[in-house]
Homo-oligomer: A and B are copies of this chain.
Amino acid sequence: MKIILKISGKIFDEDSSRLIQLRDAVVNLVSKGYRVGVVIGGGQTARRYIELARRIGSNEAYLDLLGIWTSRLNAYLVVFSLPEVAYMKVPESLEEFIQAWSYGKVVVAGGFQPGQSTAAVASLAAEASNADLLIIATNVDGVYDSDPRINPGAKLIRKIKIEDLKKVLNNSHVQAGTYELLDPMALKIIERSKIRVIVMNYNKLEKLSDIILGKEVSTLLEW
């Protein structure tokens, strides 16, 4: 089974405990015979560099590049935590990802190009590797019927269809919070290739195997 796991760069903003959980989760999947790719966001460091560059008047494309390079630095941290199983270079484009993937190792990527979110990168990676599953690990348990940070009674949706997912993402009340989840480009790729997607909480990485099997709380995009 082939899996692409997209993780928010926020997990690098704290101590090393979550990095260790990520490593353990990946090693566990590999030991079970899964093929695994990981796509990492930029997190707080990216935001700091972008902020500094904005103050000196850099254009938006330059800001995106700083975010991408930081996400690659984060990706190398993950690579260095997996010296026995990871492909030792962070691919910088989809071409490089495809080549890296063909060696049978765990491939860890950050961003590819300005204008693309890391969710879009993960979607492309899932498409190019003909992955069985794309997992989006974020700071909530999955997709809700309304924004759980505003509405305490928001209900988690366990299984969702693409049309309903689009409605939720377009719903203005949750737009701000979900923008990061799946931007239009990620959504387009997921839709055109009918990629199965699980949205999960990165605080539950130690239950990743169960989440993949549908035994733990998360949201599954079905086709």
Residues in chain A within 8 A of chain B (CB atoms) = 12, 15-16, 19-20, 23, 45, 48-49, 52-53, 55-62, 65-66, 69-70, 72-73, 76-77, 80-81, 83, 86-89, 92-95, 98-99, 101-103, 105, 112-116, 120, 123-124, 127-128, 130, 184-185, 188-189, 192-193
Note all chain B residues with C-beta closer than 8 A to A73. 49, 66, 69-70, 73
**Chain B residues, CB < 8 A from A124:** 61, 113-115
Q: Would B52 and A16 count as touching, CB distance under 8 A?
A: yes
> Which of these, B61, B105, B188, contacts A115 with CB under 8 Å?
B188
Q: List 11 A-B contacts (CB under 8 A).
A: A16-B55, A45-B45, A53-B77, A66-B77, A66-B80, A86-B102, A87-B102, A88-B102, A93-B113, A112-B113, A116-B185
Indicate how many identical chains form the complex: 6
Q: Please, how many angstroms separate the alpha-carbon atoms of A19 and B56 in the complex?
A: 8
Contact pick for A95, options B12, B53, B57, B89, CB 8 Å: B89
Known: A59-B193, A60-B193. A89 touches B99 (CB 8 A): yes
Name the residue on B nearest A58 (C-beta). Answer: B80
In the complex, A125→B58 CA distance in Å?
14
CB distance from A166 to the nearest CB of B (A): 13
Given A93-B113, A116-B116, 7 additional A-B pairs, CB 8 A:
A15-B55, A20-B56, A52-B77, A66-B77, A93-B93, A115-B123, A115-B188
